[in-house]
Amino acid sequence: MSIAADPNSCSPRAADAHSRNLACGRVYIGVRGVEIVCAMPAPQPIRRQYKDEVIQLLASRGVSVNDIAELVMLIQKSYLPNLTMDACRRSVRKVLAKRETQNAIFTGVALDMLAEKGLLPPPLVDMLRQDDSLYGIDEVMALAIVNVYGSIGLTNFGYLDKSKLGVVGRLNDPRAGQVNTFLDDLVSAVAAAAAARLAHHERDVAD
């Protein structure tokens, strides 16, 4: 037997099961021999801005704005000797306020998390769980972020992703116990875009 239930009226147990097991909690949950189908919530209008949600999502995966700002400092300090950590953090926040960045992070991190839970079909789940070096879609998605401040971020993106400095190295450590196939590229891309933004901005104010 199968009954549809509004997620708001789901029994605590179902809600609990859901929140532990699945990121969105709108799925078939069996409780006491009865299969309850949590009804799909009504579609929500897309908001203009999800910066806070993106920062929270990154934090839940172990990455802070400060972690990314440290990467920006690492790659820009030799070009901009007066650069402060405060300016780096500000630049990271500006990149995270861009719609293209938010959409790439929402998508890539969702894929990482679904791979972690085995909720992706094969062979995709295996490619992501093993961080297959021939997968390539992680780099493509990161490119959407890098391009936000023009193509000058491309080399910094590649450099960060390959050198595995700072938080990128930590994300690549298999002991993290997390699938970070997309996340490490996304973080490198945000740092590269934030560095490109600072470089553009420098000339704009110098003029």
25: which residues sit within 8 A by CB, 6+ positions away?
A: 7, 15, 18, 19, 38
User: What are residue 133's phi and psi, to 5 degrees?
Assistant: -70, -10
d(CA 30, CA 198): 52
By CB under 8 A, is residue 56 in contact with its own copies? no
Please report how close the Cβ of residue 207 comes to its own copies at its closest, in angstroms: 3
By CB under 8 A, is residue 15 in contact with its own copies? no
Measured from the CB atom, the residue of 15 and 137 that comes closer to its own copies is: 137
Interactions with its own copies, residue window 63-82 (CB under 8 A): 79
By CB under 8 A, is residue 172 in contact with its own copies? no
Q: Which residue of 21, 56, 66, 84 would you call a contact of its own copies, by CB under 8 A?
A: 21
Measured from the CB atom, the residue of 26 and 93 that comes closer to its own copies is: 26
Measured from the CB atom, the residue of 90 and 165 that comes closer to its own copies is: 165
Is there a contact between 181 and 137 (Cβ–Cβ < 8 Å)?
no
CB count, 10 Å around CB of 66? Answer: 12
By CB under 8 A, is residue 156 in contact with its own copies? yes
Angle at 85 between CA 81 and CA 90, to 5 degrees: 115
Q: Which amino acid belongs to residue 65?
A: V
Site string for its own copies, 85-124 (x = CB under 8 A): -------------xxx--xx-xx--xx--x--xxxxxxxx
Query: Which listed range, 65-73, 80-88, 139-147, 172-180, lies at the site for its own copies (CB under 8 A)?
Result: 139-147
Q: Which residue of 5, 80, 152, 165 would you call a contact of its own copies, by CB under 8 A?
A: 152
CB count, 10 Å around CB of 55? Answer: 18
CB count, 10 Å around CB of 72? Answer: 28
